[in-house]
Structure 1
Amino acid sequence: MRTSSRVLAVTTDDSGVRSVQRCVDILGLLTESRPAVSVAEIVRETGLAKTTVIRLVQTLERNGLLWATAHGYLAGPSLWRWAHLARGSWELPPEATELMRELARRHGETVNLYVRRDVHRVCVAQQESQQALRHVVRIGDELPLWGGAAATVLLADADDEHLARVAATSPHGDLATLRAGVDEAAARGWAVSHGEREAGLSAVAVPVQGRAGTVIAALSLSGPSVRFPDERVAEFAAALTEAAGQLHRRGFDHPFRQAGS
């Protein structure tokens, strides 16, 4: 990898941050469909030198974040502790889970709860539709904020600088259109999308307000567009609004389980 003299002159702090980001990138290569990754795959997909990759994976392995096997590097056992901590903070209270389960049962579509993270939205809870043709994402999946009903309501409190950064990630790059959609959803109290992120997929979403009255999450119903005609969209919006109101009245906030709760 070629490095300019300017880059070689970075401070120790900058170099440390870069190393941390590289480690995160390596861990990010592991997925359910690829539970193990080889050094050669890491080199190919990150563009890092082999010597750098070896140094980083050895550091991750020493700290239990990777585990070396004959098939490559797996997620390490130390991640269990962090996963347990994350679950304790982000797992929904039982009454909220039951509320989502009832929405999915009554309306026949998948119910998701998303939170905003920079220019992405993260799925933190889901109740799947029982229909054969249904929309499903995985817990922890990151989706873009530039499209989809849930994204639109999550941006209700975003300032112009944040909206500009989101628009810059969009294939359309249209800040004015993004702002107009956010403002319309805020005035109406809910958002609907048809094929914005994925053709044939529709969703209706409402904001969930925390104790301070700010938008902390988006509650949505999603599924095939053929099952989202106007009359069903109105029905979904009303049901979601009622459910979001119940969450707010119960003192909903996130992380969902605070220390000592």
Structure 2
Amino acid sequence: MADPRPDGDHDENGVRSVLRAIDLLGLFTEDRRAWTVRELTSASGLPKTTVIRLVATCEQRGMLWSGKDGMITVGPGLLRWARLAHTAWDLPQPVLEAMAALSTRCGETVNLYVRSTVHRVCVAQHEGPRTIRHVVPVGDELPLWSGAASKVLLTGAEDEFLRRVSATSPHGEDLVGQLSRQARQAGEDGYSVSHGEREVGASSVAAAVTDREGKVVAALALAGPTTRFTGERVRDFVDATVNAARRVSSIGLAPASTSEPH
């Protein structure tokens, strides 16, 4: 049966070829910077001919680079995008100072997350001073269905969006009702607490960062080993994180950080 779509390259979530190219680029990480075509084919699950075509296209735009040894790595064209992203998401110094002060007071790592489609992305971090600490690299995408920061970022989300988020979890749409309740509670309280939702042994306290209209634009999160997030400490962490989030809200984030999430 012929594809009824004009170019056969679209689905309800976007342009399929573009999504495939982005997913292919997403395989390149600091821990794995070079791949062969065979390895990319295996890791992506795409046909070899598709991988070869995507690699060639990305090379034309400088996004990928093939060496004489047959290894493929990120291309110099990404340097421009990296510089642009750094500039767009460069936070005001007072915000960074507020994050550092929260980390020093509580002894844990502080992250700032924003919502990006059905994920949350860490846009800034101040590592905790302790040897054993929780660290999420800046730029990492994390699931929006788990963690204290996610509940804060889902404040006010409609059921249709919650269904999209739930579909990315191991629980499927069975999670919609729970997410709705947790997001509503986070909206009423202005913060959320989680223990071992995304990773066993890790806990977090997150508070809402809002714009001038009171809309949630980010989540300020304090994270660390669950063994250090005892009842008494969590109460102190909540007070400290909420106050820090209010401080960040009063300062304001970079212009890009306050745009409408999709």
Per the normalisation by structure 2, the TM-score is 0.90
Map 1:1-261; keep pairs closer than 5 Å. 5-7=1-3, 10-12=5-7, 14=9, 17-69=15-67, 70=69, 72-172=71-171, 173-252=174-253, 254-256=255-257
Q: Which shifted more, 159-168 or 130-139?
A: 159-168
Counterpart AA for 1:229? T
1:161-184 CA-partner distances (Å, limit 9, x unpaired):
111222222223322221111122
Counterpart AA for 1:126? Q
1:182-225 CA-partner distances (Å, limit 9, x unpaired):
12222222110011111111100001001332100000101011
**Quick one: distance in 2 between partners of 1:170 and 1:240?**
27
How far residue 139 of structure 1 moved from its aligned partner, in angstroms, is 0.7
Matched residue of 2:123: which SS?
strand
Matched residue of 1:245: which SS?
helix
| Matched-pair contact (CA < 8 Å) for 2:217–2:257 | no
How far residue 229 of structure 1 moved from its aligned partner, in angstroms, is 0.9
Matched residue of 2:132: which SS?
coil
Q: Which shifted more, 184-193 or 163-172?
A: 163-172
How far residue 251 of structure 1 moved from its aligned partner, in angstroms, is 3.3
User: Structure 1 residues 197, 120: closer, same or farther in 2, change over 3 A?
Assistant: same
Report how many residues are paired: 253
| Matched-pair contact (CA < 8 Å) for 2:90–2:254 | no
Counterpart AA for 2:16? R
Matched residue of 2:98: which SS?
helix
Counterpart AA for 1:190? Y
Counterpart AA for 2:58? L
Matched residue of 1:151: which SS?
helix
User: Structure 1 residues 254, 146: closer, same or farther in 2, change over 3 A?
Assistant: farther
User: Structure 1 residues 235, 150: closer, same or farther in 2, change over 3 A?
Assistant: same
| Matched-pair contact (CA < 8 Å) for 1:211–1:253 | no
Q: Which shifted more, 135-144 or 177-186?
A: 177-186
| Structure 2: stretches of 5+ with no match in the other structure | none
How far residue 82 of structure 1 moved from its aligned partner, in angstroms, is 0.8
Per the normalisation by structure 1, the TM-score is 0.90
How far residue 48 of structure 1 moved from its aligned partner, in angstroms, is 2.6
| Matched-pair contact (CA < 8 Å) for 2:122–2:141 | yes
User: Structure 1 residues 40, 14: closer, same or farther in 2, change over 3 A?
Assistant: same
| Matched-pair contact (CA < 8 Å) for 2:111–2:126 | yes
1:8-58 CA-partner distances (Å, limit 9, x unpaired):
x64237369322222112111111111011110122122333223222211
| Structure 1: stretches of 5+ with no match in the other structure | none
**Quick one: distance in 1 between partners of 2:154 and 2:64?**
36
**Quick one: distance in 2 between partners of 1:181 and 1:123?**
21
User: Structure 1 residues 166, 19: closer, same or farther in 2, change over 3 A?
Assistant: closer
**Quick one: distance in 2 between partners of 1:13 and 1:48?**
17
User: Structure 1 residues 65, 153: closer, same or farther in 2, change over 3 A?
Assistant: same
Matched residue of 1:102: which SS?
helix
Percent identity between the two aligned chains: 50
